[in-house]
Amino acid sequence: MQFSAIQIATMIGGKVEGNPDAAVASFGKIEEAQVGQLAFLANPKYEEYLYSTNASIIIVNDTLELKQPITATLIKVADAYTSFAVLLDKYQQIQRQQLSGIQQPVYIDATAKIGDNVFIGAFAYLGQKVIVADGAKIYPNVYLGNNVTVGENAVIHPGVKIYHDCVIGKNVVIHAGTIIGSDGFGFAPQADGTFKKIPQIGNVIIEDDVEIGANATIDRATMGSTLIKSGAKLDNLLQIGHNAEVGNNTIIAAQSGISGSTKVGNNVMIGGQAGVVGHITIGDGAKINAQSGVSKSLEPGKTVTGSPAYEFTAALRSQATSRKLPDLEKRIKQLEDQIAALTEKK
């Protein structure tokens, strides 16, 4: 499938400089792109490749000033990175729209309801009263337990397991190997030292426009719902505990863990390998640096780092001071020697 420069410019609101009929059929990195491919330039560190690339069309910022002639057709936009992302999304949507129908073999319970323009891949399992809304894509080896709902245009990638009663919203993307709705980690200690399992009878609700990476786990609630709110973006290899809440447009990077019943606010940013204890609140707009261990609630807008995590600028001051400790030790030793010498003179 080919697109011309003028077609692409129309899609992303850009202005063509060069041949409006130049056509591309695929994408390439600016340093490697060949004739017939589209690239983009957002980072000034890669500007040198603008003059040597073989790409036919390049998306650039409208503030770019050329230092020498180029052969490619340019599409100038306000933000090349964002515009390229929009274009990739449109391209991906076109590809997904080509997927439709039900491959064989699959198991679909007689009580399940399947919408229009749905794709269901081979070896998928759809249990009792499952609902798959219009335009959803269910890839091979997906398991949808009883009473699961999958919203319009959701994409469930291979090997995803969604346990009974869970709800997946519109335009949600869940990547391969992720498990939604496994039991929360609830065990009551007994007098004899054993642990009695607490049944987990709630569910998981994932609202619209959420994306979840590969091999993440989101536990079902003990009662009620574990909730991932609209627009949240969760990376690979995450653990979200039972009854936790993740707010609108919050981003959590890989290998992080949110313990049970913790409420993470809107527009929070959590770095990779961070850990958050249970039953606390992370305020809207808070930022948690990578590998931080958060043991108490955070106020809205606060930035923390370290383990245990504490206020970011204070942590930087402490780090700066700790680097000076060897010199401070020497100075203290010198002062002690001077004091000792003065004492002996007396």
State yes or no: is 157 an active-site residue.
Answer: no
60 and 76 Cβ atoms separated by less than 8 Å? yes
Catalytic pick among 164, 175, 242, 279: 242
Question: Residues with catalytic annotation?
Answer: 242
